[in-house]
Structure 1
Amino acid sequence: MLISILLVLHVVVAIVIVVSVLLQQGQGANAGAAFGSGSSGTVFGARGAASFLSRMTAVLATVFMLNSAALAWIAARDVAEPGSLLERIEPVPALEEELAPPADEDEEEEDDDGLDLPPPDGR
């Protein structure tokens, strides 16, 4: 439950950071004043929007990093003890039935085709 809340918060903060960065004016944005988008049309005043957005971005970045650390800590806490995967596998019980009955060493095998061939080892 806690992990899902933190993941949703993480995604929301990431989206808001992207939007706040895109809303900030770059260094070359002053040329836009010639086309009617000067600082007189801003909601926060001439310098207010830049400082508000930059402070909001800094706060959101801090929240994002703390949230990332919390998610990493929770994920590391839930990891099982390190070890080999082979040690975790339960042994399979031995099969009681054999696939083929054992051949008696006293009896000679007869060929299915009825031919009398020498043994394969050259005897």
Structure 2
Amino acid sequence: MSNYLFSIVLTVHVLVGLGIIALVLMQHGKGADAGAAFGSGASGSVFGASGSANFLSRTTGMLAAVFFLTSLGLSYLSSGTTAKPASIMQDAAVTAPAPAGEAAPAGAADDSKAQSIPK
């Protein structure tokens, strides 16, 4: 369930980030106000002369708040304790062949290939 929720929050986070980028690029800079006074057509826009600036800045602020909340949510979801991965070597039964001068361990066959390897 946690991976599913993490994926949803991550998707919302990325989409909100892209939305913030788009809204910031659509906004006019501070220097654009002087150009609008000389008839650049801003008064004929959908939101009016200053309506688009208020709408875009408020929407950017709301998306920034959602971006902040999803950032906190992602950090909370990723900080959950997970089981440590077990080592591969913990489950493996490591048995070394007996040295040449010593007797083979109990249960080892006398015709094993490990004893016939030349040194």
- TM (norm. structure 2) is 0.68
The CA distance in 1 between the partners of 2:34 and 2:45, in whole Å, is 15
CA contact (8 A) 1:30 1:38 kept: no
Query: What is the deviation of 1:80?
Result: 4.5
Maintained 8 Å contact 1:17/1:57? yes
* Aligned mates of 1:94, 1:16 — CA distance in 2: 56
Verify: 1:102 aligned to 2:79, yes or no: no
The alignment status of 1:13 with 2:13, answered yes or no, reads no
Q: CA deviation at 1:13?
A: 0.2
In 1, the alpha carbon distance for the partners of 2:36 and 2:58 equals 24
The 3 A distance-change label for structure 1 pair 17 and 48 is same
Partner of 1:4: 7
Alignment of 1:1-123 (within 5 A): 1-33=4-36, 36-80=39-83, 89=87, 90=90, 93-98=93-98, 100-102=99-101
Residues 53-109 of structure 1: CA deviation (Å, up to 9, x unaligned): 11100100000010111111111114457xxx9xx64275441423x5128xxxxxx
Computed over aligned residues only, the root mean square deviation of the Cα atoms, in angstroms, reads 2.5
CA distance in 2, matches of 1:102, 1:37: 98
- Work out the CA distance in 2 between the residues paired with 1:12 and 1:29: 28
Question: How many residue pairs were aligned?
Answer: 97
**Residue segments in structure 2 that go unaligned for 5+ positions in a row:** 103-119
State the TM-score, normalized to the length of structure 1. 0.66
Fraction of identical pairs, as percent: 44
Give the structure 2 partner of residue 115 of structure 1.
none
- TM superposition outliers: structure 1 runs of 4+ over 6 Å: none
Structure 1 counterpart of 2:32, which letter?
Answer: A
| Ranges in structure 1 where 5+ consecutive residues have no aligned partner | 104-123
The Cα offsets for residues 12-61 of structure 1, whole Å up to 9 and x where unpaired, read as 00000001111111111124337753322321011111111111001000
Which deviates further from its counterpart, 38-47 or 9-18?
38-47
